[in-house]
Structure 1
């Protein structure tokens, strides 16, 4: 029997036995434990439990953040109705530019989605959410069209860094045939936000605040987004192994699922430039991009 030693963990491979993992316990002794199972060895009931927990904890969180993104980007129309146009002395062309500048930065900075590959997801997501929430809130304090243009530009930068990377994040946790439904649920947050954005804005601006109603709108809808950045920081797991809502047994199963999906357990921390070049050479990606524009 041969033994491969590391500092704290030894992988023992026998000639006829299955691989086992030996882990040092609290007394410094080495205890043998089964190695992580392959996907074919996973108990279907445990896998079902893992998938259900992922559905309860991850999809609602990323969808809620995306819903806030759409509320924050689209509330400028409700702010216009609430008096922003008169207070900032905007004409039709000036207002149109406030809408356009967002999408200029949104398209130009699409490459920022690569941050999901380099930075731990909980940090990247929290940073994106905090940035666009801060921008949305600060809109309540501006007094000129130029300042609003700058804020709308930076909001586009922050939001493009979040949304397009979520399907990549979900692929850490779900198999290929499971991913479509979860990505669809995530994307459905956008039209859901549009169904009640107007009613919400009406409720916020229907009172008699001591300052402009449109400023109240930006303030009330921006502050919750900043608070949700903390939720993303503490509750969005970077990988199945770091999901606090999974038991140790469930983490082993989730890890095996991840290896089957991507061929590797770790997918954060480095960029594979060869794969990136292959992606840029893929005609399907360019066709999709042109259609979106």
Structure 2
């Protein structure tokens, strides 16, 4: 019987792909997906738990522990040739097409069909799609890494620190519990340490809502990518309230065109400061794309006042 969120074909394919991961990665992935409620004693138990608790192929393959290289290797093993420069979200699309029977393996797809498929993809894909995928992958990476710094969190192989920020990075942190407070920090070290303290010392965990309403991304004409995300904040089993966060990302060419954080604007509204009747299950970003772009004045984000949740 197939897992609740996966078809039998998807389950079989995911099992083959997960076999390419190391045991430590499988166990860490199981901890993340099951919130450490399942403790497998073998690789197969770990894979089974991952499949059972995964709601969709996208949710599973977008996980940080499912590396781009692993997906590429899986496609190669299946005899599917894809451009080596393909980004992770493109590789996931190839995998889905293969499992749907739309992408034959062993190079049996004719050159004419490949050309047609590639042209169709180019026509249907816009620059905004690329920016949205970038924002989505960034948020998955950022919040998984930040939450891993919690004393009880699932530890990440990657290290948190100022290396993920530009030297002149800025953080504007507004929190509203019983009264409004604003903090500002400048410099990669200070920004990194303040965000770290929220999780490591104040025991806060961030749960971003990465669906269409909880995540919006745009690129300014100067190349700054603005990523706006909303979600809930928790301490233990208690939901403390909601957050809205806007990141400004700039590409760093000397580090292989990776993206580093230039600006962080964070607002947290405590549950006791919410208006009566406000639903917090799925916080959303109320900004339209053009409004988000207008927040950028060519130098930095202005002190923002997010829309009411």
Larger relative contact order, structure 1 or 2 (CA cutoff 8 Å, min sep 6): 1
Higher helix share: 1
Determine which structure has more spread, i.e. the larger CA radius of gyration.
Answer: 1
Same fold (TM over 0.5): no
Q: TM-score if structure 1 supplies the norm length?
A: 0.28
Instruction: Please give the TM-score of this superposition, normalised by the length of structure 2.
Output: 0.27
**Bigger proportion of residues as strand:** 2
